[in-house]
Structure 1
Amino acid sequence: MSQEIPFFNGRIAPDGGSFDAWKTQSLLDSLEQGGLQWPSSCRSGTCRTCIGQLVSGQVHYEMKWPGLTAEEKAEGCVLTCVARPLSDVVLQDPFA
């Protein structure tokens, strides 16, 4: 009997490191737990300090509408402090 893995693989592109993207926590928490730096402030999805570009993968939000416009969401922008992974994810390095 196979046991479900509690996390997905996360990576910062182009070569910023990898991390375990835990299904039960935000991408920001997973990044920090993996020892990676990411800009952050409010941690509630409103200040937009942690905004990032999702290169590949899927996320979901616990809140109805995080602080992103429909256009930003369509372009792949995510708020890492409130986004949770639904698959393996690749984020664009915010410091590059």
Structure 2
Amino acid sequence: MSDSTRPPLVRVEPLGQSFEAPDSLTILEAASFANLRLPRSCRNGTCRTCLCKMTSGRVRYTIEWPGLSREEKAEGYILPCVAIAETDVVIEAPDAVEI
């Protein structure tokens, strides 16, 4: 986070929309408050419907081991339903839409 007075920003590509993601919300929840719909289903880190690639930034998870392999984590994949932005983040979510 470049400005300590604001929550991290999440930019969704290729949509080009950004929203604030306070640490009290997952990225998926924050997107909903910003009128963006990311793919979703279980909302607990198991179904992988929301799987997307993080191209920059850092997240932490609300659960101990989300449904990602070590390789997927190393390649930058995240599960927004259980991920909380620790810094400004850019994700690739081609199926995201404004609502």
Deviation at 1:14, TM superposition (A): 3.2
Aligned counterparts of 1:46 and 1:39: Cα–Cα separation in 2:
14
Question: Which residue is equivalent to 2:85?
Answer: 85
Structure 2: which 5+ runs fail to align? Answer: none
- What TM-score comes out, normalization by structure 2 length? 0.86
Matched residue SS, 1:22: coil
1:2-81 matches, within 5 Å, as: 4-5=4-5, 7-81=7-81
Aligned counterparts of 2:61 and 2:82: Cα–Cα separation in 1:
6
4+ residue stretches of structure 1 with deviation over 2 A? 93-96
The size of the alignment, in residue pairs, is 93
Paired-residue identity, % = 44
Matched residue SS, 2:94: coil
Deviation at 1:6, TM superposition (A): 5.1
Name which one, 1 or 2, has greater alpha-carbon Rg. 1
Matched residue SS, 2:47: coil
- Measured on the aligned residues, the alpha-carbon RMSD in Å equals 1.5
Deviation at 1:62, TM superposition (A): 2.1
